Structures are given as C-alpha cells and as structure tokens.
Amino acid sequence: MRITRADVIVTSPSRNFVTLKITTDSGVTGLGDATLNGRELAVAAYLRDHVVPLLADRDPARIEDTWQFLYRGAYWRRGPVTMAAIAAVDMALWDIKGKIANLPLYQLLGGACRTGLRAYGHASGTTLPELFDSIRSHMAEGYTAIRVQTAVPGLGAVYGVVASGAPTRASDQRYDYDPAQRGARPTEEEWDTSAYLRHVPAVFDAVRREFGGELPLLHDGHHRMTPIQAARLGKALEPYDLFWLEDCTPAENQDALRLVRQHTTTPLAIGEVFNTVWDFQTMIRDQLIDYVRAAVTHFGGISPLKKLADYAAQYQIKSGFHGPTDISPVGMAAQLHVGLAIHNFGIQEYMPPSAATSVVFQHAFTFTDGYLHPGDKPGLGVELDEPAAAGFPYEQAYLPYARLRDGTMHDW
C-alpha cells in the first residue's frame, strides 16, 4: 500500500483547526490534528511545503519509521511547529492502520484498561456565587472532577475565567473563556502574582466549605509563578486536598519543580507546552511531578505519547493529557484511545467542542456521566466533513498576554 496524497485543511468553526488528511492507493484515508493555537498557519505551511511532498509513495503501515524519518531526517529537532506537524502524520497513519484492521485504535494499543476516562471540566467565576453556580452546573452535567479558576481582586480579566454574566455552563459556547480571541492582534491583560497568591487559598477554602471534602478539585497556575511562589501556593493549598496544581512555574526550567516539591505535597501536573520526552526527562526521573500534561497534538502524536506514558508509569506518574478546545476532535479522539489503553491513566481534561466544530468533525467519542470513551469505530473514529469545513475559513485569533502594572511583560 502507498500514500497517494496528503491534504492540509484549515478550518475555523468557532476556532481555528489544522487537519492533515492522508489518502492511500486503496482509498483508505486517515486524519491527524496539527492545530497550534495562534500559530496555525506556520504548521500548515510546514506540512504543505516540507512534509506532504515527502509522504508521497511511502508505505502508510510504517508508522514508527515515518515518525523517525520526519524527526531525524529534518536535522532540526523539536519545537511546537515541527512536533505538531509530525503529530498529524502519526495520527493519520494510526487512523489508517485502525481502519484497515477494522479495529478502534485503542485495540491496537493493547486494548481497554478501563471502561471510561474520567474527565474534568472547567468552572470559573468572577465572584464566589458565580463560581459556585459554575461548579454546580458542571456537576449537573456529570463532571466528577472540576478545575477551579477565579478572578483576582484588583485585576481585570483573568485568563481562564469566564467574564461576569457570560454563560457558565460547560455546554454553552465559552469562547470568551477559551482563550484565543479573534482579531489581528492579541489582547493584553494585567497581572499581579502577589494579589493572586493572597486570593486563591481563600477561594479554595470557600469551595471546600460549600461542596465538602470529596469533590476532586484542580487548579491551573498557567506558568505564572516563580519557584518559591509556587512552593508557597502549593503549601497554602494543602488543606484543600487538590487533585493537582497545574503549570505552577514556566515550562523551561525542570529543576524549578524540585524546589516546589521540597516544600509541598500538593500533587503537581505540568507539560501542556512540552514537545518531547526530553522536556520531562528530569522531572519524571527525579519524581518531581505526579501527572504529565502533554497533548498528543503538540507532542509528536500517538507513538511518542504512548512512550511518555510508559516512561512515566515506571515512577507511578499518571497521565493528565491537555484537552482544551484547541486540541481538535481528531487530537482528542487520539488521546482518548491512548488513555483507554494505558495502565497509568490519571484524568482527561475536557471542554466540549462547539456545535459548529461537531458538524465539521463528526466524532465517535462520547461524554457520559463524567466519563469519556473514544467509541468503537475503526481507527480514531472521527470523520471530517470537508464541504462544511470549507464554510469556515481561517480567521486570525491569538491568546492574550499578560503585563505587570508597570508594563513589564510577564511569563505566561
């Protein structure tokens, strides 16, 4: 069997997605997600100009060899653009292999280790009553674990927090929250880590008083603390028994987590911006974290994500793959298959795709009573409606960025 063509499809049903579609001489097709929030067209160009021409006539069955060819053969390694492009090829080839075998991908990865994947949802509010309403509505929708983000007194819009008065139900359109905003330039938000650190423990105290001790709660620090600030927050949150504290420090310095770890038993999750296992090397080997947050789309695909999970498992570290709406339904399906098959699955982040996204990407995966399942269609279980996709052309959209009051550009 041979690859006869590969097409890059950029579509924007409420947000931008980049999809690779590989076609074989037997007519079987496979899909891969190459979406890189705010830098979508760079990956599309990388694929179109430098990868698609190399795929012609290759054997689609040779997934690992093709991955190594694209990774090693380029000379230039790693980085989000490269790894998103390679990820899309890897996913599409696994999709093809599953369709040819007539098996859902998770069966090719060893079969199901569980009946479903526990998902966490995203509650937020600018006030405690709004936050409580948001938590309640997520519970009503079935979520059994909830990420809690709030506004900070004295600051305006805070990343990850729905604007006051906006819909807070998980099933509503939440693109005011989901971070990329349409427009030619990113918006600017003001940030103050000290104000944030003073406020967050009081919020978790209030949430525990309202909802009791059992509900698993998560929090995302979005890489905005120094190591000692993160250590202080982790320690302050210990009484509230977090499921995890996410991205407490910037991504580049693995040893920062060592300092945090020395001070707190709050479980730590990190890695949504990581591209390869090397970004996790120190923190896994030295047991500085509890959950790996890599996303299949930005980590080079299914093949390396499975290897990461297996490496992490040797240290009792679990998965918590990144799952915002900038992972397309193709990427989400891919990591659900991995999550179902690995023994050390931890939890899956989930934001429901918008109605328009679900028209463009028809997916077999389901969310029922708080649990996700990839479904039993062969391959990934996602079909792309190309005419529908063509009706939603690319629109510029960017993540906001943060500055301190004196204008200093802040870490993400």
Which position among 220, 279, 290, 326 is part of the footprint of Co ion (CB under 5 A)? 220
**Contact pattern for ligand EZ4 over residues 255 through 284, marking x by CB under 6 A:** -----------------x------------
Instruction: Note whether 130 binds ligand EZ4 by CB under 6 A.
Output: no
CB of residue 218 to Co ion, shortest distance in Å: 10
14-22, 40-48, 59-67, 265-273 -> range binding Co ion (CB under 5 A): 265-273
The count of other CB atoms within 10 Å of the CB of residue 163 is 15
Query: Is 263 part of the annotated catalytic residue set?
Result: no
Pick the catalytic residue: 159, 175, 311, 315?
159
The distance of closest approach from Cβ of residue 220 to ligand EZ4 in the complex, given in angstroms and rounded to an integer, is 5
Residues 179-198 interacting with ligand EZ4 (rule: CB under 6 A): 179
- The answer to whether the CB of 304 falls within 8 A of the CB of 277 is yes
Which residue has 């067209």 as its token pair? 41
Using the rule CB under 6 A, give the single segment among 105-113, 321-329, 376-384, 402-410 that binds ligand EZ4: 321-329
Task: Give 98's Cβ-side CA count (13 Å radius).
Answer: 29
Q: 119 — phi, psi (to 5°)?
A: -110, 150
Residue 51: exposure state from Cβ atoms within 10 A (0-12, 13-18, ≥19): buried
Structure tokens at 338: 């991995």
To the query of whether residue 222 is one of the catalytic residues in this protein, the response is yes
From the list 6-14, 98-106, 224-232, 319-327, the region that binds ligand EZ4 by CB under 6 A is 319-327
Q: What's the chain's Rg over C-alpha atoms?
A: 20
* 95 interacts with ligand EZ4 by CB under 6 A: no
Question: From the CB of 323, what's the least distance to ligand EZ4, in Å?
Answer: 8
Q: Does 324 bind ligand EZ4 (CB under 6 A)?
A: yes
CB of 272 to Co ion, least distance (A): 5
CA distance 332 to 365: 9
Backbone φ, ψ for residue 391 (5° rounding): -75, -5
**Cα gap 30→89, rounded to integer Å:** 9
Using alpha carbons, list the distances in angstroms from residue 319 to 95, 298, 379: 22, 15, 22
Residues 6 or more apart from 306 whose CB is under 8 A from it?
A: 109, 338, 341, 342
| Strand partners of residue 147 | 122, 218
Rounded to whole angstroms, the Cα distance separating 246 from 222 reads: 7
**Interface map 160-179 toward ligand EZ4 (x if CB under 6 A):** -------------------x
Kindly name the residue from 122, 138, 219, 222 that is annotated as catalytic.
222
Binding residues for ligand EZ4, rule CB under 6 A, total: 10
Give contact residues for Co ion (rule: CB under 5 A).
Answer: 220, 272
Q: Which residues are catalytic?
A: 159, 222
Give contact residues for ligand EZ4 (rule: CB under 6 A).
Answer: 37, 179, 220, 222, 272, 322, 324, 326, 349, 399
